[in-house]
Amino acid sequence: MITVTFPDGSTKEFEKNTTVYDILASISRGLAQNALAAKINDNYVDLNYPIQENCTLEAITFDNEMGQQVFHHSSSHILAQAVKRLFPDTKLGIGPAIQDGFYYDFDSEHTFTPDDLQVIEKEMMKIVQESLPFQREELSREEAIRLFEEKGEIYKLELINDLSEDAKISIYRQGDFVDLCAGPHIPNTGKVKAIKLLNLAGAYWRGSEKNKMLQRIYGTSFPKKAMLDDYLFRLEEAKRRDHRKLGAELELFTILDDGPGFPFFLPKGMIIRNELENFWREEHIKWGYQEIKTPMILNRSLWEQSGHWDHYKDNMYFTKIDEQDYAVKPMNCPGSILVYKTKMHSYRELPIRYGELGLVHRHEMSGVLHGLMRVRCFTQDDAHIFMLPSQIKDEIKAVFDLIDSFYRLFGFEYHVELSTRPEKSMGSLEDWEHATDALRQALIEKGVPFKVNEGDGAFYGPKIDFHLKDSLGRTWQCGTIQLDFQMPERFDITYIGEDGQKHRPVMIHRVAFGSIERFIGILTEHYAGAFPLWLAPVQVKVLAITDKHADYAKEITEKLLAKGIRGEADLRNEKIGYKIREAQTQKIPYMLIVGDKEAASQTVAVRKRGEGDIGVRPVDEFIEQVKEEILGKK
């Protein structure tokens, strides 16, 4: 007999070699039906896996991230099988799961077209209706090579040859189709109830320009058609909200051929940017930060000392000054450390919190540039905290609270990930364990649920990452809290302790917005361009019904501007309906319609974005109401 422990801590005994599916079915027939795979101890397996020893067991369903990966990866096998049925001479590349779907790379003499996607989709649904079981087999290296040589699958052979001599080689069959794969997979193709192939792209084999260009087909799939319908709706909504489209329509920013990856902010975009920066400054003063500004270009020796030269130089820009090597800063931290070193510090001064809106430059490949989301220069709302070891936990909690207050203001939900030591890092294992444990304990004491993201820390320390969830349910990594024992050591920074001796402080690196540019892009899509009143480039538009009301419209606009409200008057000789529709297109929070009645009574007819006509108000009353709304950042 074997003992199986379940996620709730309960245990149950079963005969040796009982399959995962049978164990789950003994607990709940519904759970077994909904399960796609399972987690045994730390390994993911198929449902027909026979359990041979004591273990922990957790069902993996579509409700969690791993379940979706298994489902989508299985769908990529269905795609590959359909393509091989329709175009038998096609050679198979790879077909992983990606966020919200999957893709598969093909080497085919046939050039796929959008019309082909519909044909392939129909063939995939035939395979689904056949409910073919996914069957795992383990082969020796020789058997695997022989199998794929017979099938002429040159890319699979290359993958096999790259595996270590002692690696286990597994394949999965479904009907007449076989693929090299580690698994796990869903029980059978019938689990996939809804499929949509989305688009085509070219992709170099294994991402190298030296290799052949393959054809990539992207798709998505779900266990229910209603889930696919919802996803496709969100996809269309995302296109409507695309910040690049709205950025042009609302005249916020542009990116020109003269500077790919280097955004130009237009006057209206600068208003949003300045409001965010003003808010950042006000809040950081409240939270005890001092603002600094450090140079954009610094000597190579500094970047060697910081470790960026060894760990980050492929992403940096360089120049020569007086025949010496300099680098354009990709990060602000070394400059902040130099500011700290300008004088000696006592333990009584710590923590010292330096904040900086620092412009950084990073060399990104042209293929990944994307509006404001992925650029080559951006402003980090950086801060570096120098503190006593005894202050670590309290400072982490305080930073967490500051970042939380920022996101709540904008209406963002978020989840948190703890990222641990990467393969390429600086410092001792002991320092890393100490830093990681401090971050973990702070999260536990805050009562914040988090998941561990193994190996994704910065090269100098572990970090807490904040992933925002926007109005379409998409997530964006923005804020971060990084704990660093390495930079203080490398730069030999100290403070005078209570004992009169020199001691080493600890550093926190942190951002809230992350990148001002990217955050504006996220906000644009989150609000679909309808920014909250306090951020809106034009807060109030005054619309004169006819030319004779122009003077009154100007008078109101001047009153608005005098009270610090961003107002504009539309005095054009156009019909009022046209003016209203245009103001709606520009997503103006308030419109004030003025005609004979309003001019005579010193009132305005108010239209509010999203609500329409909300009645006639005295001008001064309306102004006070709007001022209160702006100050409250509602």
Which residues are catalytic, by number?
333, 362, 380, 382, 384, 463, 509
633, 534 Cβ separation under 8 angstroms: yes
Token pair of 17 as six digits:
């070699």
Is the Cβ–Cβ distance between 102 and 93 less than 8 Å?
no
- Eight-state DSSP code of residue 62: T
Q: Are 605 and 576 in contact (CB under 8 A)?
A: no
| Cα 23 to Cα 38: distance, rounded to the nearest angstrom | 11
Tokens 């080689």 sit at which residue? 169
| Paired tokens of 487 | 């930079």
DSSP reduced 3-state for 430? helix
Q: Which residue has the tokens 């500004």?
A: 293
User: For residue 56, which amino acid is it?
Assistant: T
Long-range CB contact pairs, 147-152, < 8 A, 24+: 147/171, 147/178, 148/180, 151/178, 152/91
> Three-state DSSP class for 246?
helix
Q: Tokens standing for 43?
A: 């390994």
Q: What is the dihedral of CA 56, 62, 67, 71, to 10 degrees?
A: 140
Neighbours of 146 (CB within 10 A): 12
The C-alpha atoms of residue 323 and residue 261 are separated, in whole angstroms, by 28
Backbone angles phi, psi at 462, to 5 degrees: -70, 165
How far apart CA 561 and CA 531 sit, in angstroms, is: 19
3-state SS, residue 187: coil
Rounded Cα gap, residues 531 and 276, in angstroms = 12
The total of other beta-carbon atoms located within 10 Å of residue 215's CB is 20
Is the Cα torsion angle 159, 160, 166, 170 positive or negative in sign? Answer: positive
Indicate the helix (H) or strand (E) that contains 99.
Answer: none
| Strand, coil or helix: 620 | helix
